[in-house]
Amino acid sequence: MRRVSIRTITIAAATAAALTLGNGVADAAATPGAPGAGDVYFPDYGNGGYDVGHYDVRVRYQPATDELTGTTTIAAEATQDLSRFNLDFALDVSSVRVNNRAATFHTEGEHELVVTPARQIPAGSDLNVVVKYAGIPSQVVAGGFTGWTRTADGALAVNEPESAWWWFPSNDHPSDKATYDVSVLAPDDVQVISNGTLTSGPTAELKGWNRWYWRSVKPQATYLTYLAIGKYDIETDTAADGSPIINAFSTSLGDFDGAARAGINRTNEIIETEEQWFGDYPFEAQGGVAAPPGALGFALETQTRPVYDGRFWRRGGNTYVVAHELAHQWFGDSVSLEQWRDIWLNEGFASYAEWLWSEHEDEGTPQELFDFVYASYPADDEFWQVLPGDPGSDKVFDGAVYDRGALTLQALRVQIGDQAFFEILHTWLADHRYGNGTTDDFIALAEKISGQDLTQLFTTWLFTAGRPDLSATTKLAR
């Protein structure tokens, strides 16, 4: 409820007068929301003009044909006077309603849905959007790829930096995080796994079909919102703090099944270990999903419950990938990117967590791993030409973002000492918890806490091509 006092009206009138003087127009006209969120690498990802609070994604999926139908309801707030706005989406849309009125819409390019509401949306007011749609996601190519993966018995909506385009309309950029309800109606011979907690289901809804209700209650980036559909063995347990542990193992893991379970079943132990370095685990649930071997070719730190290609267990009980994806729950998921350019804030830190885990497992210290990685790339190797702090939009997952990102953190730790280093990590995670951060923010914090000018260190390690000379950083020289 809104109260209007005489004084408020007076101030509003004065503001209007000032605006008139400032820009020469009496009425500020509503304008279209920007078609991008301002990402320097991916200018058309995300949109401007509104801020999403919650997504309710409700779909039906038939693995036999890859047919997906759905309705997504978006609860957002306008951040400017909007005449129209964009969503990011690549399937066929049949209707859009905005604030209880039918809206007109058209598509632009491969993944922009342009929505014109019946009435303009004033800044600060609710923007409630209902989109109905259908499609065969695996057949839709956008941005040169398909973020939806069909498997022998189902599908995976697991990808980075994009996966939402193929199953729900969104403001598709990590700078606009929201909470989620994801509900899926699927044939009763498959399982459906998503983020957070299974609040209800599987519940028979049609003959031969079950609905699964998943909920994720902390702010979550679109690319960290996932679906794994197929034949899975789901195992549930409860952590010491009472939160649910939910693991899912594809029934097609074959010879990797035992090792996948050995790795993923250490999730809770690894979280408790990482809490000693990074502070409290930020989410309400945990677990892991072992996807069919070869289906993805990577693992992804999907919020609360990472998804791993089964092939990560081709050589036994790999825990490094688990330590990596779980570290992302702090670095990437709780504290998210504002710009994809700053991807080392995710990958460099998750890689460094593997080095900490290695020391914890008595398999080598971070300094030993620094020495090994540094020496394993000769000075003339291409590796040293990629700048972790600005790798280029085609190299956001280059090895240098991971390895040189971790080298950067060890160089920082050696220069400023353990106490300042871990205080920086804790403060970074506390200050930006459930929000976003930039490389500039991180450097400023590191300088503040260490009391040192770190310009040269970060310029050398993040932003200068070529192998850094260790004799320049005396403490790293041997």
Helix (H) or strand (E) holding 410: helix 399-416
Q: Which is nearer to Zn ion, 219 or 306 (CB)?
A: 306
CA–CA separation, 478 vs 475, rounded Å? 8
- Considering only 88, 176, 257, 301, the residue that binds ligand ARG (CB under 6 A) is 301
Q: Which of residues 323-362 bind ligand ARG (CB under 6 A)?
A: 324-325, 328, 347
Q: Is 225 in the site for ligand ARG (CB under 6 A)?
A: no
Cα 398–Cα 460–Cα 341 angle in degrees, nearest 5: 40
- What is the per-residue DSSP string for 344-389? HHHHHHHHHHHHHHHHHTTS--HHHHHHHHHHHS-TTSGGGGS-TT
Q: Which is nearer to Zn ion, 245 or 350 (CB)?
A: 350
CA–CA separation, 421 vs 417, rounded Å? 6
For residue 471, give the amino acid letter: S
The least CB distance from residue 396 to ligand ARG, in Å, is 8
The least CB distance from residue 475 to ligand ARG, in Å, is 29
Q: Is 90 in the site for ligand ARG (CB under 6 A)?
A: no
The least CB distance from residue 299 to ligand ARG, in Å, is 5
Beta strands 307-309; 286-291: pairing state? parallel
Helix axis angle for 344-360 and 399-416, nearest 10°, is 70
Binding part of the chain for ligand ARG, among 84-92, 121-129, 183-191, 321-329 by CB under 6 A, reads 321-329
Q: Which is nearer to ligand ARG, 328 or 404 (CB)?
A: 328
- Considering only 200, 206, 397, 463, the residue that binds ligand ARG (CB under 6 A) is 397
- In the sheet that holds 112-116, the strands lie side by side as 85-88, 112-116, 104-108
- Considering only 209, 277, 298, 384, the residue that binds ligand ARG (CB under 6 A) is 298
Q: Is 403 in the site for ligand ARG (CB under 6 A)?
A: no
Residue 170 near residue 182 (C-beta atoms within 8 A): no
The least CB distance from residue 309 to ligand ARG, in Å, is 10
Q: Which is nearer to ligand ARG, 112 or 403 (CB)?
A: 403
Q: Which is nearer to ligand ARG, 159 or 252 (CB)?
A: 159
x/- binding map, residues 156-175, to ligand ARG, per CB under 6 A? Answer: ---xx---------------
Which residues, at least 6 apart from 426, have a Cβ–Cβ distance to it below 8 Å?
Answer: 278, 279
52 contact, one of Zn ion, ligand ARG, none, CB 5-8 Å limit per kind: none
The least CB distance from residue 94 to ligand ARG, in Å, is 30
Q: Is 179 in the site for ligand ARG (CB under 6 A)?
A: no
Q: Which of residues 331-370 bind Zn ion (CB under 5 A)?
A: 347, 350
Both structure tokens of 431: 């200050």
- Considering only 131, 228, 271, 300, the residue that binds ligand ARG (CB under 6 A) is 300
Strand partners, 237: 245
Q: What is the dihedral of CA 27, 30, 36, 38, to 10 degrees?
A: 20
Both structure tokens of 442: 């991180």
298 contact, one of ligand ARG, Zn ion, none, CB 5-8 Å limit per kind: ligand ARG
Binding part of the chain for ligand ARG, among 125-133, 237-245, 292-300, 438-446 by CB under 6 A, reads 292-300
Q: Is 318 in the site for ligand ARG (CB under 6 A)?
A: no
Q: Which is nearer to ligand ARG, 215 or 341 (CB)?
A: 341
Residue 181 near residue 59 (C-beta atoms within 8 A): no
The least CB distance from residue 389 to ligand ARG, in Å, is 17
- In the sheet that holds 155-157, the strands lie side by side as 148-150, 155-157, 227-230, 191-193
403 contact, one of ligand ARG, Zn ion, none, CB 5-8 Å limit per kind: none
The least CB distance from residue 300 to Zn ion, in Å, is 8
Q: Is 322 in the site for Zn ion (CB under 5 A)?
A: no
Residue 347 near residue 405 (C-beta atoms within 8 A): yes
Nearest to 150 by CA among 222, 62, 63: 63
Q: Is 462 helix (H, G, I), strand (E, B) or coil?
A: helix
Residues that bind ligand ARG (CB under 6 A): 159-160, 298-301, 324-325, 328, 347, 397
Residues that bind Zn ion (CB under 5 A): 347, 350
